[in-house]
Amino acid sequence: MQTLKTYLLVLLFLLTSNLYAEEGEGKELFTDAKCMECHNNSDFKVNTKKVNSYKRLQKSVNACAINTDAAWFDDETEEVVHYLNKKYYKFKAPAKEEE
């Protein structure tokens, strides 16, 4: 019984640390790129004319990354999209493709 409890605790730790790591990387990239020098919290409200879906959020983040020379790889851009979606937008994210 003790072994099962230990196993479950380790599993829980691994799952939660992975979720935090994903958000943490997006947040760190967002912070390092100094995005808030051009934006403020009100810029991240759902705007039906600009950002009204997960796909539009991806396009907006990609455009900002290009305009600011953030030099993010595609997966890093997606981490920032995930972070912003989780924190502000709450759009339903598309299913991840199998590699």
Side-chain half-sphere CA neighbours of 43 within 13 A: 11
Residue 22 has pLDDT above 70, yes or no: no
- pLDDT(18) > 80: no
The tokens describing 92, both together, are 């339903």
Domain boundaries, the chain: 2-89
Per-residue pLDDT of 29-50, as tens digits, reads 999 998 989 888 888 877 778 8
SS3 string of the chain?
CHHHHHHHHHHHHHHHHHHHHHHHHHHHHHHHCCHHHCCCHHHHCCCCCCCCCHHHHHHHHHHHHHHCCCCCCHHHHHHHHHHHHHHHHCCCCCCCCCC
Better-scored residue on pLDDT, 48 or 71: 71
